[in-house]
Structure 1
C-alpha cells in the first residue's frame, strides 16, 4: 500500500511553468497534481479530459500522434503559460498482440513510434526555444518503461519505441547540458493505472492467472502507485536535482533483474 509522504513544499516549484502530456489520468494525472502541489503552473493535454484530471491545471485537448498536433499543443501551452520551465513527456499507449511480433501490423509499429517516441521529440523540439529562453534550471523528464529493457513479443512495438526514447533522451541531455537544461528519463515498472491494468489483464487471462498474480513478484511487495512516479518527477525537476542530467531511473519496486 502506498504510504503518503510528508506534505509537498508548496514553494519549491513556485514560479515554474510546466507542460505535462498524457495528464488526464494515471501516472500523468499524478504528475500534474504533484507539480501543482509544489507551486507550479501546469498545462496538461490528452485526447479527452477525465474525472482524474486535476482541476488546478489548464487542460488543452490534443492529438500528439502527428507533428501538426504536437506543434499546435506547444503553441497553445506557451500562450497559456507565457513560457515554459518544465516539460514532462508522459503520453503513451500500447496494444497487446498475443500472437507475437509477426502479428503486429505495420501501422501499429508506426503508431507506437508516433505516440511513444516521436510525440516526445516533436513536443520537446517545439518548446526548445522557450526552454533555452528560460535558461538554467529548466528540465525535461521523459516517461519511458521497463519494457524498454524487458521486451516481450506481444509488446515488441511498444518496447522498441521506449528504447528509442531512452537513447534520444541521453543524447539530448548531452546537447542541452551547456545551456543548463537538464534531461532525465524514468522507466516505471508495474504501476496501477487503467492502461497498464488492461494490458496486464490480457496477459493474466492468457496465462490463466489473476491480475494480482502478475504483480506478485515485486520485491518491495506491492505494485506501483502513480504517485511513486510523480514524486520522482518532482525531485528531478526541482533544484534538489540541479546536478542530475542524462540519467535513466528505473522505478519498479526492485522488479527489474540485475544484469
Structure 2
C-alpha cells in the first residue's frame, strides 16, 4: 500500500460507494491509509470494516437510498472533498440480448449508472460551493470490449457512465472540481475468484485453468494476469491526490493491456 509520504490525504473527507468489498474495499483502505476520513455504505455493514470508517446502511440501487446515504455522509463528514463511485456489477443471466428483460436492463442501469448520477447530484454541489473536489467514476473496459454472452446491459450502462462522466468534467473543471474515470479490466476480486472456480469445475480443470478461460474470453491479457484490487485502489489514491491536480476529463485504463486498440 502507498504510504502517506507519497500520497498524503490528511484532512480530506471522502465518500466511497460500493466500499465494503472488492475494489471498493481496497479503495477505502488506501484512502484511510493515506490519512483521509472515509464514509461508505451498503445494505449491511461487513464485520471486517475498520472502526475508523464511517458507515451508513443504504440501498444505493434506489433514488431514496442514494439521497439518504449522501445526506448522512455529508453530515458525518461536514462536507465532501473526494467522491469515488465504485458501486457496480452485474447479475444478468447468460444468453445474449434476448435473455435481458426490461427488469434486468433497469437493474443494470440503476447499479452501474444511476447510482453515480444520484450521488453526484447530491454531493457535487457542496464541492462547487467550496470551489474544489475530485470525483472518480469507476467504469470498465467492457464499455469498449463488451462480452455479448452475458454483459451487454452492464457494458452499455458503463458506456453511459463514461459519456456522462466526460460531460460532467467539462462542466465542473472550470469551477475547480476534477472528474476522472478509472477503467479496470479483469480484477481478481472475491466475485471473480468464485467465477473462475465455477468455470474450472465445469471444465474439469483447476483454478489457474479457470483464470485462463476468463482471460481467453477477453481475447487475452498481455500482462498474463488480472489486476489486484489494491493496484486499482493505489491508482485511485493517486488520482484523488494533489499530485494529480492536472488530470481531469480523462479515462485511466488499468487492464494489463487487454484492450487491443489505441
So what's the TM-score if we normalise by structure 2?
A: 0.90
The alignment status of 1:242 with 2:236, answered yes or no, reads no
Match of 1:183 in 2: 179
Match of 1:152 among 147, 154, 165: 147
Deviations 1:207-249 (A, max 9, x none): 7763221237322232111011111111111111111100111
**Are 2:49 and 1:46 equivalent residues in the alignment?**
no
Inter-partner Cα distance in structure 1 for 2:159 and 2:204: 29
The CA distance in 1 between the partners of 2:253 and 2:7, in whole Å, is 27
- Separation in 2 of the partners of 1:204 and 1:171? 41
Cα distance in 1 for partners of 2:89, 2:175 equals 32
1:73 aligns with 2:73: no
Q: Structure 2 vs 1, CA of residues 132 and 198 (structure 1 numbering), >3 Å: closer, same or farther?
A: same
Q: Which residue of 2 aligns with 1:118?
A: 114
Secondary structure in 2 matching 1:56? coil
Structure 1 unmatched ranges of 5 or more: none
Task: Please name the residue that 1:215 is paired with.
Answer: 215
Structure 2 residues not aligned, in runs of 5+:
none
Q: Which residue of 2 is the match for residue 84 of structure 1? A: 80
1:251 maps to 254
The answer to whether structure 1 residue 142 and structure 2 residue 145 are counterparts is no
Are the aligned partners of 1:31 and 1:230 in contact in 2 as well (CA < 8 Å)? Answer: yes
2:95 aligned counterpart, secondary structure: coil
Q: Is the CA contact 1:23–1:29 (under 8 Å) kept in the aligned structure 2?
A: yes
Residues 81 and 152 of structure 1, relative CA distance in 2, 3 Å threshold: same
Deviates further, 165-174 or 7-16: 7-16
Distance in 2, Cα, partners of 1:10 & 1:232: 12
The number of residue pairs the alignment matches comes to 254
| Cα RMSD after superposing both structures | 2.0
